[in-house]
Amino acid sequence: MILPIYIYGHPVLRKVAQDIDPETYPNLKELIDNMFETMYNADGIGLAGPQVGLEDRIFVVDLSPLEDEEHPEFKDFKKAFINAHIIERGGELDAVEEGCLSIPGIHEKVPREEEIRIQYLDENLQPHDEVFSGFRARVIQHEYDHIDGILFVDKISPLRKRMVKGKLANMEKGKVACEYRIRTVR
Ligand code: NI
């Protein structure tokens, strides 16, 4: 089922999401399936719980559509991250353009660390403690920010922030054009 994607200005996007109890969480498998379906429908490569209105530490990523000769490592990079916690970040800060399904029509360069170490449960509730670098680390950090109530536009330069202020203000008023199913604050 395709879920509505919550748009910039909705307070749920600013909540620090909480760990879930996978044993008692209702229909976790179905939720993860729905999150992937919602993400694919909107041509995204990542989607986090708050973007579908949940205050739960869950996000999904799938980089396989970006696989090519230069990036064979994207091929099987389809993952759910449950109760994720980044425990280390390192390497150089690098600024690369990002977008977000909750902030349609805005793409800006975002500085992020090159490498992360993250602990999480996968969709089968198996625990992982892994290091990711490069673009995979970037996408994970973007989604991870969502479960901490942080959006990529928080991290762009003051000049660029001024440039996108009007568009963001419109989103907060519910004025946004989008081809996928969305929910605005009003
Ligand atoms: Ni996003």
Burial (Cβ within 10 Å: 0-12, 13-18, ≥19) of residue 40 = middle
Residues catalogued as catalytic: 143
Residue with tokens 């729905």: 34
What is the tens place of the pLDDT at every residue in 5-34?
Answer: 999 999 999 999 999 999 999 999 999 999
Whole-structure pTM value: 0.96
Domains (range + CATH), the chain: 5-183 (3.90.45.10)
Q: How far is the centre of ligand 1, averaged over its atoms, from the C-alpha of 140 (Å)?
A: 10
Q: How far is the centre of ligand 1, averaged over its atoms, from the C-alpha of 57 (Å)?
A: 14
Q: Which of 139, 172, 155, 152 is nearest to 61 (CA)?
A: 139
Cα 13 from Cα 150, distance rounded (Å): 8
**Residue 115 vs residues 7, 9, 98, 100, 131: alpha-carbon distances, Å:** 29, 30, 17, 21, 7
The pLDDT of residue 131 is above 90: yes
> What is the DSSP secondary structure assignment for residue 137, as one 8-state letter?
H
Check residue 74 and give its pLDDT: 86
Q: How far is the centre of ligand 1, averaged over its atoms, from the C-alpha of 100 (Å)?
A: 4
